[in-house]
Structures are given as structure tokens and as C-alpha cells.
Amino acid sequence: MKKRVLTGVTTTGIPHLGNYVGAIRPAIAASRQPDSESFFFLADYHGIIKCHDPEQIHASTLAVAATWLACGLDPEQVTFYRQSDIPEILELNWILTCTCAKGLMNRAHAYKAAVQENTDKGIDDPDHGIEMGLYCYPVLMAADILMFNAHDVPVGRDQVQHLEMTRDIAGRFNHRFRELFVLPEAVVGEEAILTGLDGRKMSKSYGNTIPLFETEKKLQKSVNKIVTNLKEPGEPKTPDESPLFEIYQAFADEAAVAEFTAQLADGLAWGEAKKIVAQTINAELAPLRERYNELIAAPEKIEAILQAGASKARAEARLLLDQVRDALGVRRLG
């Protein structure tokens, strides 16, 4: 049996270079491995937990879908779907809610952080402003994963706890009813964390990102904003003096990186260095950007791809869900 790998992407933002280097590029490369079977989904029901702007959810769903396809995800080879198109996931979500200990959710990082924020602000009610979506989302994540009995789930370090919770929830179900669920593993990527324009981690919450598919001209402008020090042209520079180097490294091969390091040591001006960096990023992204723009202009084509993906995913989901319902005693009377 092939190893099943499942990747979900929330639909609340427009992908940036950090997402590309840290998640999209490695996941697509991994999806081409012959010994694995990949599931990719647009997690729009996770998106609505924090984002209450319908236009943003909708626009981001299109942008994220177009990005993955433009970057080379092959919907014939993988199962690519939108979470909200698979009602079976929501059915499983409720079933798992009934096998999930409440105390487990009390310990979830995202919920604890929200409670801590209330405490820090001196608000009496620790649950002030906290909705059940935030509280319960590890169960929805468990449903996403267990619905397809994924073996591996590539995640960031902050998501490892949710995989532990998924294993706990699955284990309880298996023990109480029937051994139906695979206990999935979190796979924490080795990818470097890309630094943003201001030197902190590139993240939409810091507003320091370089959007993945902005025009070549805008890309150069963004790269020009990356922080450097005040060293003049001609003064020797080292790689650790600006995040520019690290971003370059994510797009250039070893020989080019060595040459760039030598040029900096020889006093390359920051302005010139920024031109080299932007050109190198652009060389990789230009063909993808062209495909992205074509896809964005034809949302009905993306919709058709997602509908085909949903049919594939639902057929798979139904098989397992029928067994789950049977195990629970939820079945026809005659």
C-alpha cells in the first residue's frame, strides 16, 4: 500500500515567497514520489474560524487553488479538493467530537493562547470572545486527516500538537468501536524559514511578505525593501548582514550562492545585490506566474478541477464513513 500524505492549506491569504519555499515547492516535489499518494485540500472551513470577510475567503480560495496548480500540482496524480465540498468530513467531525475528551481541547495551544490574551488584558471571563470554532478546530483537523486515513501529515512545528490530538482521538475510537483509523504521523519539514522584509519571519501577520505572483517590477520593488545595513558600495559584506542572502539561497544553486558570497565580500553594492536576487527569483517564478495569471482569469476551469477532485475524494470518504457509521450502530433498520 502506498503511503498517504495529506496537506491542507487555509484559505485566508494570498500565498507569499515563504509559503512557496517552506510548503508549496517541497509538497509538490513530494507528491511526485511514486511510493506515495497525495491528498491536497483547500481548508475553507478552517479559514472561517478567524477570517470573517466573505470576499477574502472567496478570493483566497481562488488564489490558493491557482497557486498550487500553477506551481505544478497535477490533479490527475493527486486528489485535490475543497474541504467544504466533502460533507463526509463534517459528518466525521461530529462523530469524532463524540470521542474527543473535552480536556484535550482545553489544552490546545490556540485556545490557551486566546485565554492567555484575555488574562493579560485583565478581562474577567477567560473565554471572552472565543468561539467554538477556535476551541474545536483540532477535531475538524482530525476529521480532515482521518477521513482519508493519511499516514503522514507535513506540518509546521506549531501544528505537531494537533497531530498528537488526532492520534488520541483516533485511538479512542479504535479502542471503543472498531480499528478503522490509521494513527497519522506529523512530518516536520526541514525547510528553512524564510525571513521577511523587516528581518522577522516572513508572515502575513507581520505584513512583511513578498507576494508570490506579483509582477516582475513589483517583485524588484519588494526585494529593494529588504533590510540591509548602511555599508557603502566597495565595503566588504557578509551573508549574515541581510536577509537578502537567505532569500537568494532559497532560489539559487550552490555555485551561484558561492559566487554571490564572493561578490559580497568584494564589496558588491546592496542595490546591485538586490537586482541579482530579484532576477534569480524571477527566473524561477516567471513561468509559474504566467500559468497563475491564466488560471486566475478562468475560475470556471479551476472549479471544474475542484469538482472532479471532490468526486474522487467523496467516493473514498464514503467507503470509510459507512464503516464508521456501522461501527457506531448508525445504520439502516432493514
Binding site for ligand AMP (CB under 6 A): 13, 18-19, 21-23, 156, 191, 193-194, 201-203
43: part of which helix (H) or strand (E)? strand 36-43
- Residue closer to ligand AMP (CB basis): 190 or 232: 190
Kindly state the smallest distance separating residue 138's Cβ from ligand AMP, in Å: 15
Q: Which is nearer to ligand AMP, 73 or 268 (CB)?
A: 73
CB of 12 to ligand AMP, least distance (A): 7
Write down the H helix ranges in 216-269.
216-224, 243-249, 254-265
Give 92 or 243: the residue with its C-beta nearer to ligand AMP.
243
* Helix (H) or strand (E) segment spanning residue 37: strand 36-43
Q: Would you say 125 or 240 has its CB closer to ligand AMP? A: 240
CB of 141 to ligand AMP, least distance (A): 13
To ligand AMP, the closest distance from the beta carbon of 334 in angstroms equals 48
Residue with smaller CB distance to ligand AMP, 18 or 184:
18
Residue 21 or 324: the one with the smaller Cβ distance to ligand AMP is 21
Q: How far is the CB of 172 from ligand AMP (least distance, A)?
A: 27
Which amino acid is residue 311, in one-letter code? S
Query: Does residue 237 contact residue 224 with C-beta atoms inside 8 Å?
Result: no
Q: Which helix (H) or strand (E) holds 117?
A: helix 109-120
Q: Determine contact, residues 264/228, Cβ cutoff 8 Å.
A: no
Please name every residue paired with 218 in a beta bridge, in sequence order, or none if there are none. none
Listed in sequence order, the residues at least 6 apart from 283 whose beta carbon sits closer than 8 Å to its beta carbon are 251
Residue with nearest beta carbon to ligand AMP: 22
- In this structure, what C-alpha cell is assigned to residue 126? 477567560
Closest contact distance (angstroms) between CB of 192 and ligand AMP is: 7
3 state SS of 177? coil
Least distance (Å) between residue 193 CB and ligand AMP: 4
Q: Which is nearer to ligand AMP, 22 or 184 (CB)?
A: 22
User: At residue 329, what are phi and psi to the nearest 5 degrees?
Assistant: 90, 10
In the complex with ligand AMP, the residue whose CB is nearer, 57 or 193, is 193
- Left, alpha or beta for 72 (phi > 0: left; psi -120 to 50: alpha)? left
- Give 40 or 173: the residue with its C-beta nearer to ligand AMP: 40
Which residues touch 151 (CB under 8 Å, ≥6 apart)? 3, 4, 5, 182, 184, 185
C-alpha torsion sign, points 93, 98, 101, 103: positive
Q: Which three cell numbers stand for residue 123?
A: 478581562
Question: Shortest approach of ligand AMP to residue 150 CB, angstroms?
Answer: 16
Q: What are phi and psi of 15, to 5 degrees?
A: -55, 140
How far is C-alpha 140 from the geometric centre of its chain's CA atoms?
16
Phi-psi region of 306 (alpha: psi -120 to 50; beta: other; left: phi over 0): alpha
Q: Least distance to ligand AMP from the beta carbon of 273, Å?
A: 20
